[in-house]
């Protein structure tokens, strides 16, 4: 969200994460949230979902983020940034967005996490929250 309360477009969010590349900021969380929301929205239009349909919807979103249709390295960069943003959104959506600024996370750290690593991090923070509430 921008300071004025208006929702930023996917393209605007993408440009912001490029400026702060490597730092986990709310921009990554916001783009992950917006991307997943828009993906879900795009998939609702199709009664039968398949890998190809999801891929087509994702590619339209990537083109929107780039501001034009493009293939190759530029699109690969958008895919990677978006994949990382979705991971950040899913992680901090589970453990709490407030933890984002309290941690020393780096995008590369989260990028290297596999599904099992993510589950363990979520479990750790949930256990930590339970201990804090129990005291």
Q: Which residues pair with 106 in a beta bridge?
A: 23
Look at phi and psi of residue 128 and say left if phi exceeds 0, alpha if psi is from -120 to 50, else beta.
alpha
What is the structure's pLDDT at 104? Answer: 57
* Segment-wise mean pLDDT, segments of 10 residues, the chain, 135 residues: 60 69 70 92 87 91 83 84 87 80 64 82 82 73
What is the structure's pLDDT at 37? Answer: 94
CB of 102 closer than 8 Å to CB of 129: no
| pTM of the predicted model over 0.75 | no
Q: How far is CA 65 from the centre of its chain?
A: 13
Q: Enumerate residues 6+ apart whose C-beta is below 8 A from 122.
A: 91, 94, 95
Residue 38, SS3? helix
For residue 94, give both structure tokens: 């589970």
What is the structure's pLDDT at 2? Answer: 42
């Amino acid at each position: 969200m921008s300071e004025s309360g208006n929702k930023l477009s996917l393209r605007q969010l993408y440009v912001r994460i490029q400026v702060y590349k490597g730092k986990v900021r709310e921009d990554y969380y916001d783009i992950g949230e917006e991307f997943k929301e828009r993906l879900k929205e795009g998939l609702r239009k199709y009664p039968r979902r398949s890998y190809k349909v999801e891929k087509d919807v994702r590619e339209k979103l990537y083109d929107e983020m780039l501001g034009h249709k493009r293939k190759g390295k530029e699109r690969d960069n958008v895919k990677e940034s978006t994949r990382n943003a979705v991971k950040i959104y899913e992680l901090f959506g589970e453990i709490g967005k407030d933890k984002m600024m309290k941690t020393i996370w780096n995008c590369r750290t989260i990028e290297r996490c596999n599904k099992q690593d993510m589950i363990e991090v979520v479990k750790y923070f949930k256990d930590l929250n339970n201990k804090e509430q129990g005291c």
